[in-house]
Amino acid sequence: MGYTITEKILMAHADKKSISPGDLIDCKVDLCLGNDITAPIAISEFEKAAAGKVFDNKKIALVPDHFSPAKDIKSAEQLKVLREFAKKHSIKYYYEIGCMGIEHALLPEEGLTMPGDLIIGADSHTCTYGAVGAFSTGVGSTDLAAVFIRGRIWFKVPESMKFVYSGKLNKWVGGKDLILYTIGDIGVDGALYKAMEFTGDAIERLPMDDRFAMCNMAIEAGGKNGIIAADDITLKYVRETTKKSKKKWKIYKSDKAAQYYGVKEYDVSKLEPMVSLPPLPSNARPVSQVKNVRIDQSVIGSCTNGRISDLRMAAKILKGKKVHKDVRCIIFPATQAVYLQAMDEGLLEIFVKAGCAVSTPTCGPCLGGHMGILAAGERSIATTNRNFTGRMGHLKSEVYLSNPAVAAASAIKGRIAHPEEVI
């Protein structure tokens, strides 16, 4: 019997010799994650259980990224809970403001997410780490509390879906466009509780930043996890990042005889940049079909598209140009390291001269938190991952999703635009 990459990782972490989709298994956890919204709830439950100590202070990461720097008293109290718990239990991977980044960009950068790992986080976009060939998925805060105590978690083994991408990507098209197109094809519940396995020659050529963007949005199709088998591109990346963490890894690949719930095949050679119209990521259209949509704001960053290649793409569009007089363009480097690299490369100067505001790393407006909230009737194009009603502010505001090039071009034109319109 053959197994998928997801099944192999789950089987190894459950210490079983065989599993099948639908089985309930108890798995050891290599890394668990909480942020300033979800971890305080987990900490409260942990303390109610009177557990005394965490299972392993070197396998917990706490990242205050959603409402930080603190936007009000309530968020400051949330941050204080995180800070005091980390100090009490000597949590090795606690990242204070000034050192932290957006969690799903920070942890891979720090070398904490490795091929073959099993990672859970009390944040739905924990599926991002599948880009390195790990099984990673979001859980609830009470599940996180239980992992703080046991270091293990129960899963129902998901069925797997294979997505095969072939062909050469066109200019301005990347991982964000591939996943928006895919979600547009199968819908927001098209992979409900499925392992989304991304493969094909187009994926094999895809840089790591684009792979992270794809796996990040598996949850937007209802997926349990997104995953890409580790290859030479992956290994080059993890060899560099593990200089910090010294972590080991194990590579798993799907068997030829592996069984899939379904297989979807896409020729990407004719794909153009995509835009998802509100109120769902699945409402995806080629940018050429999205005409005369005026915007008030452009957000470039987030755990989906705040990495250095994303900022380079935006800077390529914005260099020597000005943001439209009626548009606010806000740039969020995903981590302090990305911020420094963007500074060294002169990208921040390009942004500021273009009329953009550049922020410290934070999730900020993505969840309607702060630093870019929309008023009634306003529209934003954003490189974030969700465009549900009220996601970025007022219930009568709108969010359109795109890649960084489209978001930057739209900031210049004052309406949703193809990058070629401004280059």
Structure tokens at 104: 């799903």
Residue type, 98: G
Select from 141, 115, 183 the least CA-distant residue to 47.
141
Which tokens in the block code for residue 316? 């390529």
What distance in Å separates the CA atoms of residue 204 and residue 3, rounded to the nearest whole number?
21
Q: What is the mean pLDDT of the chain?
A: 97
- Cβ–Cβ < 8 Å for 151, 55: yes
CA angle 398, 399, 400 (to 5 degrees): 125
Contact 138, 146 (CB under 8 A): no
Q: What is the average per-residue pLDDT within 173-201?
A: 98
| 196 vs 329: CA distance, rounded Å | 33
The three-class DSSP label of residue 367 is helix
Q: Is the pLDDT of residue 363 over 90?
A: yes
172 backbone φψ class: left, alpha, beta (φ>0; ψ -120 to 50): left
pLDDT score recorded for residue 265: 98
pLDDT digits (tens, 9 = 90+) for 314-348: 999 999 999 999 999 999 999 999 999 999 999 99
The pair of three-digit structure tokens given for residue 15, joined into one six-digit string: 């210490």
Segment 383-402 shows an average pLDDT of 98
Residue with tokens 């957000």: 299
Percent of the chain with pLDDT over 70: 100
**Angstrom distance (rounded) from CA 401 to CA 283:** 10
Reported confidence tier of residue 372, pLDDT bands at 50, 70, 90: very high
- Of all residues in the chain, what percent are helix, strand and coil, respectively (each to 5)? 40, 20, 45
Has residue 260 got a pLDDT over 90? yes
What pLDDT was estimated at residue 1? 79
The residue whose two tokens read 């940049």 is 273
Q: Give the length of the chain.
A: 423
Residue 145, pLDDT > 90, answer yes
| pLDDT on residue 411 | 98
For β-strands 328-331 and 357-358, DSSP reports them as parallel
- List, in order, residues 6 or more apart from 367 with CB less than 8 Å away: 66, 391
Residue in the block written with tokens 């635009």:
417
pLDDT at 244: 85
The stretch 210-228 carries a mean pLDDT of 98
Mind listing the domains of the chain with CATH numbers? Answer: 5-247+259-265 (3.30.499.10), 275-416 (3.30.499.10)
Q: What is the pLDDT of residues 268-299, one digit of tens each?
A: 999 999 999 999 999 999 999 998 999 999 99
